[in-house]
Amino acid sequence: MGKDYYKTLDVPRSATDDDIKRAYKKMALKWHPDRNQGSEEASRKFKEISEAFEVLSDKNKRTVYDQLGEEGLKGGGVPPGGGPTGPTGFGGFPGATSFSFTTGPSGTSTRGFAPSDPQRIFEEIFPGGFPAFGSFGGMGGMGGGRTPMSSMFDDAAGGSFFGAMPGGMPHRTSAQQRATSAPAPQALEITRPLKLSLEDLYSGSTKHLKVNRKFLDGSTEEKVLEIQVLPGWKSGTKIRFPRAGNEQPNGESQDLAFVVEEKPHPVFTRDGDDLVCHLKIPLVDALTGSDTKKVVELLDGRKLQAPFPLGIVKPGQETRVAGEGMPIRKQASPKNKGDLVIRWDVQFPDRLTPSQKEGIRRILT
> What pLDDT is stored for residue 313 in this prediction?
92
3-class DSSP assignment, residue 29: helix
168 contact partners, CB below 8 Å, separation of at least 6:
211, 213, 221, 222, 223, 224, 225, 241, 244
The CA-atom distances, in angstroms, between 101 and each of 82, 91, 93, 161, 280 are 13, 11, 15, 44, 74
> What pLDDT is stored for residue 66 in this prediction?
83
Name the band, by pLDDT with cuts 50, 70 and 90, for residue 60: confident
91 contact partners, CB below 8 Å, separation of at least 6:
58, 60, 98, 179
Bridge partners for 260 per DSSP: 194
Read out DSSP for 242-302?
TT-SPBPTTS-B-EEEEEEEEPP-SS-EEETTEEEEEEEEEHHHHHH--S-EEEEE-TTS-
Mean pLDDT score across all residues of the chain: 76
Q: Taking 70 as the threshold, does the pLDDT of residue 259 lie above it? A: yes
Q: What is the pLDDT of residues 188-229, one digit of tens each?
A: 788 889 999 999 999 999 999 888 888 888 899 988 999 999
Q: Taking 70 as the threshold, does the pLDDT of residue 119 lie above it? A: yes
Q: Between 164 and 198, where is the model more confident? A: 198
Name the band, by pLDDT with cuts 50, 70 and 90, for residue 89: very low
3-class DSSP assignment, residue 227: strand
CA 357 to CA 365: how far, in whole Å? 12
> What pLDDT is stored for residue 124 in this prediction?
86
Q: Between 364 and 320, where is the model more confident? A: 320
Q: Between 282 and 184, where is the model more confident? A: 282
Q: What is the pTM of this model?
A: 0.48
Q: Taking 90 as the threshold, does the pLDDT of residue 345 lie above it? A: yes
Q: Taking 80 as the threshold, does the pLDDT of residue 111 lie above it? A: no
Most confident of the ranges 87-96, 103-112, 192-201: 192-201
Pick the range with the lowest mean pLDDT from 179-188, 255-264, 304-313: 179-188
> What pLDDT is stored for residue 151 in this prediction?
31
> What pLDDT is stored for residue 160 in this prediction?
32
Q: What percent of the chain has pLDDT over 90?
A: 39
Q: Taking 70 as the threshold, does the pLDDT of residue 279 lie above it? A: yes
Half-sphere exposure of 27 (CA within 13 A, CB side): 25
Backbone angles phi, psi at 254, to 5 degrees: -65, 145
Q: What percent of the chain has pLDDT over 70?
A: 73
3-class DSSP assignment, residue 49: helix
CA 324 to CA 235: how far, in whole Å? 19
Backbone angles phi, psi at 107, to 5 degrees: 90, 0
Most confident of the ranges 137-151, 159-173, 242-256: 242-256
* Mean of pLDDT values over 45-61: 92
* Mean of pLDDT values over 113-141: 64
> What pLDDT is stored for residue 244 in this prediction?
84
Name the band, by pLDDT with cuts 50, 70 and 90, for residue 88: very low
> What pLDDT is stored for residue 340 in this prediction?
96
Cα–chain-centroid distance for residue 144? 17
Name the band, by pLDDT with cuts 50, 70 and 90, for residue 326: very high
**CA nearest 273: which of 320, 339, 333?**
339
* Mean of pLDDT values over 52-64: 91
Q: Is 300 left (phi over 0), alpha (psi -120 to 50) or beta?
A: alpha
Q: Between 267 and 176, where is the model more confident? A: 267
* Mean of pLDDT values over 236-245: 88
Sign of CA pseudo-dihedral 18, 19, 20, 24: positive
> What pLDDT is stored for residue 213 in this prediction?
85
Most confident of the ranges 82-91, 220-229, 269-278, 302-311: 269-278
